[in-house]
A and B are shown apart, each in its own frame.
Chain A
């Protein structure tokens, strides 16, 4: 198992190198160069040369690439082109906890609700409540995040005033967990909605299949209570496809976070990404692309490991 994990991490390295290459050269291809973007057009030519030398902009491209990667490995993502040259790593570290909180909350909501609803539907297939939840899932799958977010803000935050309209916390209130959770509920629910729908569909169909297996009949014949039959004997078998889906849906979680963060004015990496794209703050964009790729790669490794934890027949 350990050797498998190490192997997976090693094979992820070429992938990450590819990602850095692509994100680096995309920015290189983009029109314009830092000098024209950053500097006063009336600057003296010798100052311009000084600037170019300072940032190594006259080096061959591959040298620039290695410098960038080399610094990045040491945790230095360079400085923002705007915002008075704040280090990118500092900007990211300020935003990262918010995004992670949001993603974890969304994942927990998606998993808990989808398992409960999926199992409930699977034990009563083709009943009225099953149809109701199925319709709900399809609606959830079909509804765009930003629209759902805006609607929820309009009805539950503006009209009913149950929730704040955005942000991570009340600005004028002292720190409190409840206040944080209160702000978290809507964006986390919106971010969870699409995944929740997909997980529910998969849990339902895989549980229906599992509950018809011989070992479920055995468990019943042993005289186990039906809750134990479903959750102990059924669910662990039924979860395997859902775990795969979880690994696959991480990218959409990362991408979805950008939109949801924007809608709810959530100061996370997603909104940082959108802001930086508008202002063409290339070092920030590149760092965020690399970072989210790392997230996704790690997520997939975790999903594969979870696989083996759930199903002992899978041995690496």
Chain B
């Protein structure tokens, strides 16, 4: 697989400042997305997945949040140093995003048509009429049979699945190079989930769009992702191809995540779970952040922070494997 990197995130640190407290929501994140590739970003709630994606869009909630360090290289430019005006041209055009909540992500007082065409008019400099025509095509592409009628409808008349399709139509309207999907199916019914995932996969193949899929649903990961990045407490703990992860997860956290997915084949009474909760950022342990919950932790784990080590095509942040190598 010799694909050039489309987006490279290096040592990204997004912190929140609350009174005198500093909350490192994203703490030294590295991430590479290649052309046409689907990368899944996995982790429990509060692990910094969404903040990573909002940082890439430079839409970190402000005041409060701030990107304090790092680089986001896209198309030879560092997205963190370009002007806001240049960033506006990239959002929705080169990099677009869909969100977890289809019910609230569309503006309730504007028609669907208006919300699709405004992106086209802003980025592609289309006329109102051309944009309308394109909007109908886009709606048909995401599976609306009566696309023309939908144009004049308001979001509250559509179901959650339909709204997420509209969001996808908006996100794909300018043929972006990268689509960031922040838990796009979490709020939807299971049957609708599959449809939406299929749709995203289809479109990404058709237009050679890379996808950064943020999810905590490993079922979704196995279905669509090429590569998986596991996050814990604002850091990458493991990165590998989707097959390797499911067949041979290395990090104890990843193993825990996979074991806590119910399997239809095994007949077990109790689901396995990872003991404890994700620590809040003000309670991060000094050593490995997973150490207090890790069944395989040893002395060193609670004293030092392991680094992200590359092993063949994979990366892992765990002392268990550092020992092996040396």
Contacts and interface: CB of A to CB of B under 8 A. Distances in A.
A311 interface: yes
B261 interface: no
B91 A220 contact: yes
Given A237-B109, A312-B154, A221 B97 contact: yes
A74 to B, nearest CB: 43
Contacts of B106: 215, 218
A221 B108 contact: no
B118 interface: yes
B92 A223 contact: yes
B59 A223 contact: no
Nearest to B89: A223
A218 B89 CA distance: 15
A219 B99 CA distance: 12
A215 B122 CA distance: 17
B88 A233 contact: no
Interface string B88-123: 111111001101010011111110000000110011
Interface string B116-153: 00110011000000000000000000000000000000
Contact of B107 (A223, A225, A233, A310): A233
B122 A313 contact: no
Nearest to A218: B105
A232 B91 CA distance: 18
B104 A313 contact: no
B155 to A, nearest CB: 9
B interface residue count range (under 10 / 10 to 19 / 20 to 34 / 35 or more): 20 to 34
A67 interface: no
B171 to A, nearest CB: 8
B59 A220 contact: yes
Nearest to A237: B109
Interface string B38-70: 000000000000000000010100000000000
B167 interface: yes
Contacts of B90: 223
Interface residues of A, number: 21
A224 to B, nearest CB: 6
Contacts of A223: 88-93, 119, 122-123
A252 B97 CA distance: 47
A221 B91 contact: yes
A180 interface: no
A222 B170 contact: yes
Contact of B167 (A218, A225, A236): A218
B156 interface: yes
A280 interface: no
19 contacts: A214-B104, A214-B105, A215-B107, A215-B108, A217-B99, A217-B105, A218-B106, A221-B57, A221-B59, A221-B97, A223-B91, A223-B92, A224-B88, A228-B118, A228-B122, A233-B107, A312-B108, A313-B108, A313-B154
Interface in B147-199: 154, 156, 167, 170
A119 to B, nearest CB: 16
A235 to B, nearest CB: 10
Interface string A236-277: 110000000000000000000000000000000000000000
A215 B97 contact: no
- The listed residue with most B CB atoms (<10 A of its CB), out of A223, A233, A237, is A223
A312 B156 CA distance: 9
Interface string A200-240: 00000000000001110111111111001000110011000
Given A218-B99, A218-B106, A313-B109, 17 more contacts: A215-B108, A217-B99, A218-B107, A218-B167, A219-B107, A220-B91, A221-B57, A221-B96, A222-B118, A222-B122, A224-B92, A225-B88, A228-B118, A233-B107, A237-B107, A237-B108, A313-B156
A313 B107 CA distance: 11
Contacts of B118: 222, 224, 228, 232
Contacts of B91: 220-223
Given A213-B104, A214-B99, A312-B154, A221 B109 contact: no
A310 B109 contact: yes
- The listed residue with most B CB atoms (<10 A of its CB), out of A217, A218, A233, is A218
A94 B110 CA distance: 44
A284 B122 CA distance: 59
Nearest to A224: B122
Given A217-B99, A312-B154, A313-B156, A222 B107 contact: no
Contacts of A313: 108-109, 154, 156
- The listed residue with most B CB atoms (<10 A of its CB), out of A220, A221, A310, is A221
A311 B105 CA distance: 16
Nearest to A309: B109
A213 B101 CA distance: 11
A240 to B, nearest CB: 9
Closest 3 A-B residue pairs measured CB to CB?
A: A223-B92, A223-B91, A222-B92
Nearest to B97: A221
Nearest to A233: B107
B305 to A, nearest CB: 33
A218 B166 CA distance: 12
A237 B91 CA distance: 23
B96 A215 contact: no
